[in-house]
Amino acid sequence: MEIVEIHTNHEIPNISPTKQPGLFLRHCYTFIPKCSDRLCKYCNKKVSNRHYNVLFSHLRSCNKAPNSVVARLQRNKKKRMKTGVKARDIINCGSSSITSSDEENSITSEELDKIIAKFLFLAGVPISIVDKNPWKHFIKHAFAWYNPKGSTHIMKIELKLMYENEQSRILGVIAKQQHLSLITDGYTNINGHHIVNFLLCSPGMKPIFYKSINTTGTCQNAIAVATEILSIIEAFNNIIAVITDNMSTNIKAWEIIQARHKYITCQGCLAHLSNLLLKDLMQIDRNALRIKEARSITKFVNNHAAVLFMFEEIQNEKFKNKLIPSKQGLVLPCDTRWYSSISCLERIIVNRSVLVETFKHPNVIKSQERNNKFAELSSKVDTNDSFWNDIMEITRKYKKIVELIAFTEMDESNISEIFKLYNNLFKIENLSTVETRIINHRKPEFETDIIIHAHLLDPQNRFFGPTAEQIAKSESFFRGINTNETTEFMKYCAHNNTNISYDVLIWWKIYGKTKFPQLSNYALKVLSIRTSSAASERCWSIFKWIHNPRRARLTDVHVDQLIFLYMNSEIDIEIDDCETSYSRDYLNDEGNAVYS
């Protein structure tokens, strides 16, 4: 190793080892690139550890180090432990690549407390990890100056402070919204407690988790449900709709809510209604039989190791030779998600050739020769053409219902499309009389006044579909909004604008607000209503992830706070107004978008 000349200049610039540790150490050490070690400029001794504590410790004990350097280190030792050091310099101590000032990149003990707490809260890991020796060992080597806090401090102090700050921020976001839909749903957690959550949704914004409550041991009748919902409605002045599932208790609660607040729209989850419609169709004798057979085939393949192994081997070979479009395993339908029945049938159809070869393979036949069920399923898969024709017909017919479910479950779905999507179901080819009757039975739920109004107030839909009676009823309703003889609704209907290429809410905020000022207020309200409580359903997945068996001792209050922080952390307080996306300069007199 090349010997570096010992540094003899005892005077170094007036640099604080606390505020600028990296710069201070670069005046005391020489960096050796090949081995990333440091060479003391005073005693010419190689120091292999790059950690600040080791480098400072050597300088204090160095016999040839200037007294001014040693004295400065001793004087600032305690202060440095409190103030903190640059997190980046802990890794890159002495590197010449550091160019920014040490003051700007310093981090205090309190700031690091918050950073670690936020990481633990949002990563979904057990908070008790901070009490484990590996964590303490990591902190000791990464931030030797830092005194880490225990799980008790994090849960009692940091969680409370962070929750209060985030709650204040989110309340500011809620106050900025013009129209909000309150969405609620319930489930049973891992401790057997019944939990009900409440989310607030607005167009163009991620759903906001407001709160969850434990209703275990309390009577959940219509009055109790309505009371809790009313308490949230009265806390804000911009809630226009309540979306729940279609249980009879909730329907009775709607009546109590609307008796108190007539302007509130109460509506069932349209995704749930679509699932119930599909359930009714799948209970037709032929459909129920084919679903039962498909379930039997799926269970048999997945539950027998030899059959499943051969199935996967044949599937991989066919996919490699591009004989099948994808490698998708067989899935069982979920009892509460009827669209999963269609997924079950589609997977069997995609893997038809794989199933046929699997059931014909000598190894499979040998392993299942004493299994009577195998012989029954083998004949069905191989020779029963009626089975394959029926399941292909079922998937073709009910694809539009699955699309309706998928649309209503999206956060950005618009209620103005529901009327059209539902009426498209009657256009399915070869519908039987029974199927038509079942679809028609759900018409009152899919053609409510609100859904029809939303459909009519979308310039792209206009008079597509509604009957003369429905239009006349809507006209009478809209006439009540405007006292003029010629209602704004009739002016809107006469307006020639059916080819807009942007969001309907933008049209009403920019163009409709000018041409139809009174009607636009109602239009914006109706078109802002969400189509389903799917956001609330998805929230339970986060609950199960955070309140998992390894964290079963979390209290309901702590779970509520952790969910609040996790779900709302990415919601920006500055919500862009739709008007900023399309200014009036890009609209012509007819309200159509003009592009340069």
Q: What is the pLDDT of residues 41-67, one digit of tens each?
A: 888 888 876 567 778 888 888 888 888
254 C-beta neighbours (distance < 10 Å), count:
20
Q: What is the pLDDT of residues 306-358, one digit of tens each?
A: 999 999 999 999 998 888 888 888 999 987 788 899 999 999 999 999 999 99
- Over range 539-555, report the average pLDDT: 88
User: What is the residue extent of each domain of the chain?
Assistant: 21-105, 109-160, 276-399, 414-531
**Choice between 528 and 20, residue whose per-residue pLDDT is larger:** 528
pLDDT of residue 102: 40
**Choice between 457 and 588, residue whose per-residue pLDDT is larger:** 457
pTM given for the model: 0.74
Which DSSP string corresponds to 500-521?
A: --S-HHHHIIIIIHHHSHHHHH
> Structure tokens of 117?
């707490």
pLDDT of residue 551: 85
C-alpha–C-alpha distance, residues 290 and 274, integer Å: 21
pLDDT of residue 324: 86
C-alpha–C-alpha distance, residues 183 and 232, integer Å: 11
- Non-local (6+) Cβ contacts of 454 within 8 A are 414, 415, 416, 418, 419, 526, 527, 529
